């Protein structure tokens, strides 16, 4: 069992990682975390290489991510909310998934053969809405062939209660791990 985690938080010990760590503590198999603020992955430049070719012309750490996407069983999008949306850096990294969309649209080709389970963890101070970010995360997961998506895990009052103290969110992360641990 392999799980790919896209982490959109710049804080390695912040609220988002508290929930991701709870998931990891209950997760079977191996996992790989892509830290959007620390990885060497450039955003899509709309060069249109992927309109006619598999993959991407940019040669960076995303090549390794593409390989892991092919191998993994589960994919998680985890992010704090910035203006009620996933972080800009996470969106920049995931813009490189354009290759999957273009393969289907322009070449009628599905690059990812096996279905994945998907999950979303969102964290916010409490003054915004989670709906837009959740919809964006589900769209990203869909492009990586995640057809079965678990209920969203969110801690949406972190200005007053840290995520590690949010019992409902911590239990949600544990349940998300259990969901991922079950075979498709």
Q: What is the pLDDT of residue 30?
A: 97
* pLDDT, mean of residues 97-110: 92
- Please, which residues bridge with residue 102 across strands? none
Q: Residue 184 above 70 pLDDT?
A: no
Rounded CA-CA distance 86/31 in Å is 21
Q: Residue 133 above 70 pLDDT?
A: yes
- Sketch the domain layout of the chain as residue ranges: 2-181
pTM as predicted = 0.96
Rounded CA-CA distance 156/162 in Å is 9
Q: What is the pLDDT of residue 129?
A: 84
* pLDDT, mean of residues 43-68: 95
Q: How far is CA 93 from CA 67, 88, 134, 173, 182, in A?
A: 15, 9, 17, 23, 28
CATH, domain 2-181, list 3.40.50.20, 3.40.50.360, 3.40.190.10, 3.30.420.40: 3.40.50.360
pLDDT classification of 130: cutoffs 50, 70, 90: confident
């Amino acid at each position: 069992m392999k799980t790919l985690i896209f982490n959109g938080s710049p804080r390695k010990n912040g609220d988002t990682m508290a929930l991701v760590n709870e998931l990891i503590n209950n997760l079977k198999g191996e996992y790989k975390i892509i830290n959007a603020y620390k990885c060497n992955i450039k955003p899509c430049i709309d060069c249109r290489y992927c309109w006619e070719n598999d993959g991407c012309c940019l040669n960076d750490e995303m090549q390794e991510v593409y390989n892991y996407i092919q191998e993994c069983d589960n994919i998680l999008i985890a992010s704090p909310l910035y203006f009620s949306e996933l972080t800009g850096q996470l969106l920049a990294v995931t813009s490189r998934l354009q290759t999957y969309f273009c393969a289907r649209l322009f070449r009628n080709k599905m690059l990812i053969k096996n279905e994945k389970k998907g999950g979303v963890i969102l964290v916010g101070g409490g003054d915004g809405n989670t709906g837009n970010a959740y919809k964006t995360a589900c769209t990203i997961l869909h492009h990586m062939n995640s057809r079965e998506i678990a209920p969203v895990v969110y801690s949406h009052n972190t200005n007053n209660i840290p995520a590690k103290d949010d019992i409902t969110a911590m239990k949600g992360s544990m349940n998300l791990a259990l969901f991922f641990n079950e075979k498709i």
